[in-house]
Structure 1
């Protein structure tokens, strides 16, 4: 799709990313997450977490924003693995696309850029987790030849979601 630009995020983007994250997260998990998660994981909470992430000096980390014009239509983040189940693969930590802009290649473009970054950081493989029941995301990763590599309970701050881990042993397979 033309008109999509992808750029690295900076600290000034933190609250805008948080607002987007909350809106898309609530849409995605409306039938999966408990009410408590919706109450706690709000714009203020997410804003603080994105400020922390964007002010980190962790060179393995990248946060990307996809835009059409001035409208944020996707976000993605990657870096070193946060859980042992990811092994020595780089982790795709976030990948969200505005529901109004799905099926336009935004998720694929973000994932490719995140994978390129992980390759530059010398990760041979990539992995991510998807909440069980998020069938659209699961189908997306399966279509990209991700293989299910296990399951775990996300230790998140409120919701201990059951997750499926998808892995690509060759991170280059995600880069066109």
Structure 2
């Protein structure tokens, strides 16, 4: 179920940005395997949150220790996906706040994330939350080496209402 949601929202988000190969490879089977690994992990530094409305999954988010040195020791927001039918209802802000609380509890003073260049709605969302663009890098993803913009918050508490 999580993998199906992830694929649906990912494909919608990146329909005009990701190459056809990424859309083909990053399917439900691939995502299902990755989600099974993620959800069965004993890594207490990682958190995965699911937002539901009336039993329907409408958002997912994850955060934990930074995966890349470019994050400069800040806690990493790994991803945040909201169902397109439920955007602009505050779900993303609520998930992001809960992810920030986790990072604060893990003793991270700041938070960071990356956004694929061209994902204008996400860029606007993070900018509206006072995320500071702090450089670019190429994501080492499994299939698609996307160009990304790094957003940082020096005070993770600024993401918590």
**Alignment coverage as a number of residue pairs:** 161
* TM-superposed deviation, 1:47: 0.6
* TM-superposed deviation, 1:69: 1.0
Pick aligned residue for 1:76 from 61, 64, 70: 61
1:120 is aligned to 105
SS class of match (2:45): coil
2:19 is aligned to 34
2:140 is aligned to 155
Question: Which runs of 5 or more residues in structure 2 are unaligned?
Answer: none
SS class of match (1:73): strand
| TM-score normalised by L of structure 1 | 0.91
SS class of match (2:38): helix
SS class of match (2:109): coil
1:99 is aligned to 84
* TM-superposed deviation, 1:87: 1.1
Q: Matched residues in 1 for 2:134 and 2:4: separation?
A: 31
Q: Matched residues in 2 for 1:174 and 1:27: separation?
A: 26
Q: Matched residues in 1 for 2:87 and 2:9: separation?
A: 11
SS class of match (1:117): helix
Q: CA RMSD in A?
A: 0.4
* TM-superposed deviation, 1:77: 0.3
2:70 is aligned to 85
* TM-superposed deviation, 1:94: 1.0
| TM-score normalised by L of structure 2 | 0.99
Deviations 1:39-87 (A, max 9, x none): 0000000011111111111111000000001000000000000011001
Question: Which runs of 5 or more residues in structure 1 are unaligned?
Answer: 1-15
2:128 is aligned to 143
Q: Matched residues in 2 for 1:122 and 1:51: separation?
A: 27
